[in-house]
């Protein structure tokens, strides 16, 4: 799918904005704070179904009572989303829905400056990042993750009551063990796929012989029954703390540089090469799993990369539609 144009009305600081996209590379120039990232955010909403940085009430332009965004593809397909201050509605082929239908979602590689700090971010930020990646590799992953998050929210609310209902707790334990073991299997499979490519891709960027890997840290590498038993064993502690202390919601991904944690052992340049490698593999796996070439959204990352890594970025994404934001012209 190739984007032909994107139109924003009352979106962030844009009263009205229209961008005609090129088939290969489109550049959005502007000063910091001019709303460049908002254009990428609108594209992300209309291709993935939700923003990568905020809720709708924060996106709505101040003083306005609605926002509207329209995405036109070269194929003729059009997707529209409207937020009326209370709820958002998508329109695809004249059909309205509260969520972007799964069949109308399209893969996107989003590269924002904060991604360059992924290695040193909190475990929660790393989980969120890889959850977005894995969700594009298989829509079932996102569905299971949503069910897991709803179940753990319900269990935690129950734990906060003075006298938790044991039958209800057991029901949530069963659901969490089912969803948790499924998520573990997906995460294990996809991290193994990343690791099978990571060192080779990294070396093609950094031009050295360093070894790179991702260590998937989890307590959930057990079967369904053992997962359930662990939840029940932790019940007294969970009751006291008021939240669930065991499960895949505590997983982490540790980047390794020559066998040591990359956070602290890899230089700034080496860290950037690792993140570039992750992005290139992400695009490769999406194409491999879905047969679709993702749209590439690059938000002011060229200023964070040296000339060698800029060239590498352009080379690896030359067969994709790329939309770039920048404060200065890019040669």
The token pair at 124 is: 């929660």
CATH classification at residue 122: 1.20.1050.90
CATH classification at residue 69: 3.40.50.300
The token pair at 30 is: 């502007």
DSSP 186-252: HHHHHHHHHHHHHHHHHHHHH-S---EEEEEE-S--S-HHHHHHHHHHTHHHHHHHTS--SSGGG-E
Question: Phi, psi at residue 69, to the nearest 5°?
Answer: -130, 140
The verdict on 36 and 75 lying in the same domain is yes
Residue 1 has what pLDDT? 87
Express each pLDDT in 36-94 by its tens digit.
Answer: 999 999 999 999 999 999 999 999 999 999 999 999 999 999 999 999 999 999 999 88
The CB density around residue 291, as the number of other CB atoms within 10 Å, is: 7
Can you give the residue range of the structural domain that contains 160? 116-292
Last residue of a domain, one of 47, 77, 106: 106
Residues sharing a CB contact under 8 Å with residue 112, sequence separation 6 or more, in sequence order: 37, 52, 299, 300, 301
Nearest Cα neighbor of 183 from 156, 150, 153, 147 is: 147
Residue 298 lies in a domain: no
Element of type H or E holding 79:
strand 78-83
The verdict on 136 and 208 lying in the same domain is yes
How many domains in the chain? 2
The CA distance from 238 to 218, in Å, is: 18
Residue 310 lies in a domain: no
The verdict on 182 and 278 lying in the same domain is yes
Nearest Cα neighbor of 110 from 315, 325, 271 is: 325
Is the pLDDT reported for residue 163 higher than 90? Answer: no
pLDDT band at 18 (very low <50, low <70, confident <90, very high): very high
- Work out the average pLDDT over 185-193: 97
The verdict on 185 and 36 lying in the same domain is no
- Work out the average pLDDT over 271-275: 94
The verdict on 68 and 123 lying in the same domain is no
Residue 302 lies in a domain: no
The verdict on 178 and 275 lying in the same domain is yes
pLDDT band at 252 (very low <50, low <70, confident <90, very high): very high
Residue 303 lies in a domain: no
**Among the listed ranges 84-88, 179-183, 303-307, 327-331, which one has the minimum average pLDDT value?**
327-331
The token pair at 163 is: 């006298």
Residues sharing a CB contact under 8 Å with residue 28, sequence separation 6 or more, in sequence order: 19, 36, 39, 323, 324, 325, 326
Q: Residue 34 to residues 28, 61, 330: CA-CA distances in angstroms?
A: 10, 13, 18
Is 109 within 8 Å of 283 (Cβ atoms)? yes
The verdict on 172 and 272 lying in the same domain is yes
Last residue of a domain, one of 67, 82, 106: 106
The verdict on 102 and 121 lying in the same domain is no
The token pair at 160 is: 């906060």
Residue 328 has what pLDDT? 82
Residue 299 lies in a domain: no
Residue 168 lies in a domain: yes
The verdict on 102 and 137 lying in the same domain is no
The verdict on 203 and 172 lying in the same domain is yes
CB neighbour burial string for 28-42, b if at least 16 within 10 angstroms, e if fewer: beeeeeebbbbbbbb
Express each pLDDT in 96-125 by its tens digit.
Answer: 999 999 999 999 999 999 999 999 999 999
The verdict on 263 and 123 lying in the same domain is yes
**3-class SS at 157?**
helix
- The beta-strand segments (E) located in 93-208 are 95-97, 108-111
Residue 191 lies in a domain: yes
pLDDT band at 303 (very low <50, low <70, confident <90, very high): confident
Residue 331 has what pLDDT? 63
The verdict on 66 and 148 lying in the same domain is no
**3-class SS at 275?**
helix
- Work out the average pLDDT over 303-316: 89
Q: Please, is 268 exposed, middle or buried when counting C-beta atoms within 10 Å of its C-beta (0-12, 13-18, 19+)?
A: exposed
Last residue of a domain, one of 106, 132, 165: 106
- Laid out side by side, the sheet with 212-217 consists of 212-217, 252-257, 260-261
Residues sharing a CB contact under 8 Å with residue 37, sequence separation 6 or more, in sequence order: 53, 112, 299, 300, 325
Averaged pLDDT score across all residues of the chain: 94
pTM for the predicted model, two decimal places = 0.91
Residue 274 lies in a domain: yes
């Amino acid at each position: 799918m190739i984007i032909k144009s994107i139109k924003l009305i009352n979106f962030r600081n844009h009263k009205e904005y229209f961008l005609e996209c090129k088939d290969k590379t489109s550049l959005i120039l502007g000063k910091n704070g001019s709303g460049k990232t908002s254009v990428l955010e609108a594209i992300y909403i209309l291709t993935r179904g939700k923003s990568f940085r905020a809720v709708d009430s924060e996106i709505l332009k101040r003083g306005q009572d609605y926002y509207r965004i329209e995405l036109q593809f070269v194929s003729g397909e059009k997707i529209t989303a409207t937020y009326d201050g209370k709820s958002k509605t998508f329109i695809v082929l004249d059909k309205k829905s509260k969520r972007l239908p799964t069949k109308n979602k399209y893969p996107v590689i989003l590269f924002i400056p904060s991604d360059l700090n992924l290695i040193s971010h909190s475990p929660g930020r790393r989980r969120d990042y890889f959850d977005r990646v894995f969700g594009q590799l298989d829509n079932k992953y996102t569905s299971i993750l949503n069910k897991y998050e709803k179940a753990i929210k319900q269990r935690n609310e129950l734990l906060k009551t003075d006298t938790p209902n044991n039958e209800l707790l057991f029901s949530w334990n069963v659901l969490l063990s089912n969803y948790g073991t499924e998520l573990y299997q997906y995460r294990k499979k996809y991290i193994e796929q990343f690791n099978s490519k990571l060192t080779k891709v990294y070396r093609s960027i950094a031009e050295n012989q360093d070894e790179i890997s991702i260590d998937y840290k989890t307590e959930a590498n057990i079967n369904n029954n053992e997962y359930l038993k662990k939840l029940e064993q932790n019940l007294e502690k969970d009751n006291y703390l008021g939240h669930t202390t065991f499960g895949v919601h505590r997983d982490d991904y540790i980047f390794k540089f020559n066998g040591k944690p990359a956070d602290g052992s890899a230089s700034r340049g080496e860290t950037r090469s690792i993140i570039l490698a992750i992005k290139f593999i992400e695009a490769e796996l999406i194409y491999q799993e879905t047969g679709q070439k993702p749209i590439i959204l690059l938000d002011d990352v060229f200023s964070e990369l040296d000339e060698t890594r800029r060239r590498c970025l352009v080379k690896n994404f030359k067969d994709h539609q790329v939309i770039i934001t920048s404060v200065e012209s890019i040669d």
